[in-house]
Amino acid sequence: MGPTRRCVGCGHSDDKANLLRIAASEGRAVVDASASRPGRGAYVHRNRECVEQSIHRRAWARALRIARVDAQDLDAIATSAVENDRKG
């Protein structure tokens, strides 16, 4: 098992490889599919349940320390997480 990170949806820690990284960039939340962006990041499991939980809990702004997260950014996070989920 590699390094672990905490999912902002379910709150459980898991191998980084099982999580999608979201990075804070100029006050916005951007999908960091290659987990290579500098700066503050937060993680969510690649499944619909964890993404929905994270959005419901308004976890992203807090985790990324930004004022608010645009709906379109949340959509991008959800799409990326679920796409990766489907690919397995």
How many CB atoms are located within 10 Å of the residue 1 CB?
8
Task: Provide the H-helix boundaries in 26-65.
Answer: 48-56, 59-64
Minimum gap (Å) between residue 48 Cβ and Zn ion: 11
Minimum gap (Å) between residue 75 Cβ and Zn ion: 19
For Zn ion, the closer CB: 49 or 70: 49
Contact 51, 69 (CB under 8 A): no
Return the amino acid letter for 37.
R
For Zn ion, the closer CB: 11 or 27: 11
Point out which residues bind Zn ion (CB under 5 A): 7, 9-10, 45, 50
Minimum gap (Å) between residue 36 Cβ and Zn ion: 22
